[in-house]
Structure 1
Amino acid sequence: MNDNRAFIDSLGEKIRRVIDDNRRLREEVARLAEERDGLVLRNRETEERARSLERRVKTLETAGAFAGNRADNRAARLRVNRLLREIDSCIALMNK
């Protein structure tokens, strides 16, 4: 009878540990999910800022090329021509 009681007590203790571990792990999962969501948001904001800065750099390069020397003027003309081709292709797609 004592052996059965010891076995039941041991089993009860193991069950309590499993339940405690489960609760702790659920809390950790929730915390990590919040952290992940925050990092995803931060990553999106950083990527958008990088895209914005890249657009600004291209604009400044183009503006600077018009005010600069001949080599810069050539680069600016090439950029403007590329932008015009993109506009033309957009217009062609809209007309389809």
Structure 2
Amino acid sequence: MADKSVIVNLETHLRQLISDHRRLVGICAELTQQRDGLQAENRSLQERIKQQEAELSRMQLAEGLAGGGQNREKARARVNRLMREVDKCIALLGGPVQGLETVQEESKNE
């Protein structure tokens, strides 16, 4: 008789474990879906941040070129940096383009 009660007890525990396992598998699937959704939302928001930062940078450059103090200096520095980058690209392509040297010299004198 004692053996039978042990078997019944083990069977009860085993059924409970199986039930818990099924429940946890379901919870895991739900959480995985939530995680995937949040990751997609995060990627979308990160992309939006990049776009907003680029727009802010363009607006600051436009404002700086239009007038006003500190932003004007930032804009000038950015334009100069971009010109140096263009110069490097031209050098990599094999040398200066006709007429570009004159434009660059004039911009450096400003």
Give the Å deviation of 1:68: 1.6
Unaligned stretches of 5+ in structure 1? none
Which position in structure 2 is the counterpart of 1:8?
A: 7
TM (norm. structure 2) is 0.75
**Deviating more after overlay: 68-77 vs 40-49:** 68-77
Structure ranking higher on relative contact order (CA contacts 8 Å, 6+ apart): 1
TM (norm. structure 1) is 0.85
- Give identity over the alignment, percent: 38
Change over 3 Å in CA distance of 1:17–1:90 after alignment to 2: farther
Higher helix share: 1
Is residue 2:83 matched to residue 1:84? yes
Give the Å deviation of 1:41: 0.3
Unaligned stretches of 5+ in structure 2? 95-110
Any residues of structure 2 matched to 1:31-50 within 5 Å, and which?
31-50=30-49
> Which secondary structure does the structure 1 equivalent of 2:20 belong to?
helix
Change over 3 Å in CA distance of 1:54–1:6 after alignment to 2: same
Change over 3 Å in CA distance of 1:87–1:43 after alignment to 2: farther
Change over 3 Å in CA distance of 1:56–1:28 after alignment to 2: same
Change over 3 Å in CA distance of 1:48–1:23 after alignment to 2: same
Is residue 2:66 matched to residue 1:64? no
In structure 2, C-alpha distance between the alignment counterparts of 1:87 and 1:63, rounded to whole Å: 20
